Every structure is written in structure tokens, then in C-alpha cells.
Amino acid sequence: MFDQIKLSAWQAGLRGTLPQLSPQLSLPLRVELWNGERIDLSPDPPQVTIRIPGPAALRYLRSPSLYSLGRAYVEGAIEVIGRAADIIAVGNALAASGAVSGTASGAAPDTMRGRLAGALGLRKKRTRESDRDAIRYHYDVSNEFYAAWLDPNMVYSCAYFEDGDEDLATAQRKKIDHILRKIDLRPGQTLLDIGCGWGALVLRAAEQFGARCVGITLSENQAALARERVAQAELQDRIEIRLQDYRDVDGRFERITSVGMFEHVGVQHLKDYFARVADLLAPGGVAMNHGITTTDVDNGATPYGGGQFIDEYVFPQGELAHLATVVRAMQEGGLEVRDVENLRRHYAHTCALWTDNFESNAAHIRTLTDPRRFRIWHVYLAGCAYAFAHDRISLYQIVCGKAGSDVAQLPWSRKYMYA
């Protein structure tokens, strides 16, 4: 009885906070209690149902945040039914209501934590071993798992929707071509792809652009499949796939790409990372960094505990930097920024398509992993789509060259990118 009284108070308090957030905000949520009672938080039919198996699980609703709600769902403390996009929208509304009413940690604590960590140098301690383990935790689920919801070429990064109506496979091919044109890749040039995934970019670079490529990854699963694909394409003479840390690469390359990798480097290590890119770049060479950034200028976590959830369950050791931090680190590392493009809208759409694929193939995906990991990815992909759509995170492609290069090496315009 005491718990039901508290739930009723929580329900009334939540409804009282909603008008402060937005007069148009609705919450199509049903809460089903262990005793069969149902509580609807909107006159409209519910799109999301949260089932509470017992009184102990009520604490997740009394102090809702994206972390607490996500943790409860992933660990099986509550059951959540609905489309992933609706679950994330309702979860954000609950978390925002808690922040307004003071019942949950909102943006301010996360932001302050980011500022304090940056000021005191308390960012995550990392070693080569921790970096390798974090990569393998995320990417070595199984190749079959990723193939179930990615495009046929298994490109696990932001697609490029040139017209906006492309299917995922077409948009991913256009993304790769967009990158290779931006770096002005020419036949016979050497290309290093840092974080090559399952090899889609180096395959395209060798086959369509005539480049000689080295792709590196820390994921054994990715390296194995990438090598198989290179052999199937009979491109072993032009492509080498290595299981290698970027810090161990030797030589000089006329072109360097890094797509969706630098998020694993760590904010405090960005200068060293870009210095290594500059060292590996041949004189007159061009590099591109394609990666996710935070929109918090102090490099803090995303609001309402979303960053904490991703850190614990999805990307251990991952850190996002603000664009300003990235550009500064590039310059400090010996690189000159030449071109910057915001692809936030493209990544929101990419993640939405991945979410649709994941849910359409849910029955098959359940056979490829355990229930806990299934639930992690169920909400993670939709959560990313929401975060990109609402300007909490962004995606930038940054083209750069060695600082101090002769000005004649810079192009007059962007025409060459859109030939």
C-alpha cells in the first residue's frame, strides 16, 4: 500500500511538471503494476508500456533518468514494450520531467562532471590493453549480429544522403565516395584507413579509385571478415588488413582516413592522436577525420544520464569532444584544418534506419546474442537517433593536411569534391 501511495504521488507530480516542459508534450505511457493495476499518463492510447514486477522496481520511476531507466530495462528489473523510437521519446520525457521537478539528475550534474574531469585531468585512464578490450567488447559481438541490421557492405558509420531519399546501402556507398573525393584520392596513391571496420572503405578505394591500401583494426572479427572480402575481390595485391594499433603503424601515406574511430581515443589524448596522424601523413598528403562530437563546449556527458548509460553498457572508454576541442587538438598535433562538414542530420537518419532494421530482424537477432545485449542495442540505436536529432551529439567530417604546407597545396574550391 505504501508503494502504491508513492506511485500515485509520483504520477501526480509527473503530470504537474509536464506543462513546464512543453504545452504540447504528451506521454503515451502505460504503467502496469504487479497487482494488475494500470496507470495511463495520457488520454491517448499508450505507445509504450512499462511493466513493474514488484514494489522494489518502483524506484526507477520515482527518480527517472536515461541511465536509471535504461539500466532497469537492460538488467531485466522492468519490462518495456513498444517501438524503440517511442521508448526513447518517452524515456527522455520522463528524464526531463525528473530534472524539472528535482527528482532526477539532469543536464547540469553531467555537465559539471565533465567540466570537473577536464579541469582536474580525471578523464578515464587508458592503456593499449584497455583500448583493445573496449573495442573488442563493442565490435566482437559477432559479425552475424552486425550483418543483421547494417547494410550489405556492413558500413558501421554515418551514411551520406545526398538527396535524402536514398536507401541505406546507396547512402553508405555515397558516404565512402564522398570521403574519397574529399581527400582527392588518385590512382596509385597509398591510403591508410585507421579503424577500417569490415573493410568497405579500402575495398572501394582500391577497386574504384585504384589506391594501394592498408586498413587497421583492433577487432579480430572485423579483421577476419575484411580479409575474406579482400580475397573474394582478388585485391590482395592492393589491400592489406592488419590487426594493429594506430600507434604501431610505420611508414608514410599519401592519404589517411579515420571513420568512426577517434571517439575511442579519449579527449586528453586527441593531440597525441592527431600528431601520430601528422607523422604518418606524407608531405603534400591529405587526411580526413570522420567522427562523433558532443555539443557541450566543456566536453561533458550528454544530458539525463544518457552518456553514463553508453559508457557502462555500449562504449566503455569512449569519450566525445566538442568540435572546438577537436580543431584545437588537430592544430596542436601539427595538422591544418581545410574543410569541415556537419552531417548530424545524416547520422540521425542513419541510426533511425538501423533501428528499423534491428526491430524488423528482432527474432533473428535474438538468436545471435543474449537477451541482455539484445536489450542494450534495442535502446542504444534509437537513443542515438534521438540524440543526433535533438542536437545533443553531432558528426563532423574534417579534412586536413600538414600544418605549414605550401599554400599551393590547398585547392581553390570544393568543386573537386562533387565531380
Active site residues: 384
User: How far is the first Cα of the chain from the last one, in angstroms, to the nearest whole number?
Assistant: 70
Q: Which three cell numbers stand for residue 172?
A: 553508405
Q: For residues 249 and 280, is the Cβ–Cβ distance under 8 A?
A: yes
Q: Which three cell numbers stand for residue 239?
A: 589491400
- Amino acid at site 25: L
Tell me the sheet residues that pair with 382.
none
- Burial zone of 151 (CB within 10 Å; 0-12 exposed, 13-18 middle, 19+ buried): buried
Number of other CB atoms surrounding residue 270 within 10 Å: 21
Residue 117: HSE in the Cβ half-sphere, 13 Å Cα cutoff: 19
Q: Which three cell numbers stand for residue 230?
A: 579482400
317 φ, ψ (degrees, to nearest 5): 75, 0
- Burial zone of 223 (CB within 10 Å; 0-12 exposed, 13-18 middle, 19+ buried): buried
Q: For residues 85 and 48, is the Cβ–Cβ distance under 8 A?
A: no
List, edge to edge, every strand of the sheet that includes 393-402. Answer: 239-243, 212-217, 190-194, 253-259, 281-294, 393-402, 335-342
- Amino acid at site 366: R
Q: Coil, strand, or helix at residue 234?
A: coil
Q: Coil, strand, or helix at residue 283?
A: strand
Burial 246-258 (b: 16+ CB within 10 A, else e): beebeeebbbbbb
16 φ, ψ (degrees, to nearest 5): -70, -25
Q: For residues 225 and 143, is the Cβ–Cβ distance under 8 A?
A: yes
> What gap in Å lies between CA 340 and CA 32, rounded to an integer?
48
